[in-house]
Amino acid sequence: MDELFWRVDWQGIFMPTHSVLELVIRASLMYAVIFLLMRLVLKRQAGGIGTTDVLVVVLLAEVAGNGFSADYKSVGEATVLVLTILFWTYLLERLANRYPTLERLLRPQTVLLIENGKMLLKNMRAELVTKEELMAQLREKGIDDCSQVKLACMEADGMISVIKKS
């Protein structure tokens, strides 16, 4: 059993074979590209992420995987890539919380869908929300007619919040 343990290439598992700086630069560039593409391409849907959105994310991850590193082979290299991605995620969240201008660029804004009982069709089209989807969301909140709604908004997380008329 000891012989099997010592046959393992422990150095090959943990020691990077590529420059750590190259890995950080690759991960940073791929993070930026994927972040921008997802902000531009993915649309929120009533109630959350749709099947198409999940498919796009999975395919992006698969295709982008090779861009993160030129054939990395060690756990150490994978760790550098993961830490770089987590670093950028943390940094952007911190900056978005500190600077409102940056927050508007990094996070989707709330979009008004109903105002004083009237559906705002232009906003609904921009968010790819159909009348049927919006009415389904209202019914889930116990509202059967949009005339009962003071405001309905698509929130940044894709959920619809509703304020009833008093």
Are residues 91 and 83 in contact, defined by beta-carbon separation less than 8 angstroms? no
Task: Convert the pLDDT of each residue in 138-166 to its tens digit.
Answer: 999 999 999 999 999 998 777 889 999 98
Nearest alpha carbon to residue 72 among 20, 4, 117: 20
Task: Convert the pLDDT of each residue in 68-88 to its tens digit.
Answer: 666 666 677 777 877 888 898
Kind and range of the H or E run holding 25: helix 20-41
Distance CA 38, CA 35 (A): 5
pLDDT of residue 121: 95
Nearest alpha carbon to residue 124 among 160, 89, 74, 90: 160
**Token digits for 147?**
């005339």
Q: Which residue has the tokens 């990077």?
A: 16
pLDDT of residue 52: 59
Distance CA 48, CA 129 (A): 11
| 35 alpha-carbon distance from chain centroid | 8
Q: Give the domain range for residue 68.
A: 10-106
Q: Is residue 116 part of a domain?
A: yes
Read off the CATH number of the domain in which 126 is found: 3.30.240.20
Per cent of the chain over pLDDT 70 is 80
Task: Convert the pLDDT of each residue in 12-56 to its tens digit.
Answer: 778 888 788 988 898 888 888 888 877 766 655 555 555 556 666
21 and 102 share one domain = yes
139 and 125 share one domain = yes
Q: How many domains does the chain divide into?
A: 2
Task: Convert the pLDDT of each residue in 87-137 to its tens digit.
Answer: 988 898 899 899 988 888 887 788 999 999 999 999 999 888 999 999 999
Task: Report the phi/psi class of residue 102: left, alpha or beta, with left for phi > 0 and alpha for psi in -120 to 50.
Answer: alpha
Task: Convert the pLDDT of each residue in 3-13 to its tens digit.
Answer: 777 788 878 77
What pLDDT band is residue 63 in, cutting at 50, 70 and 90?
low
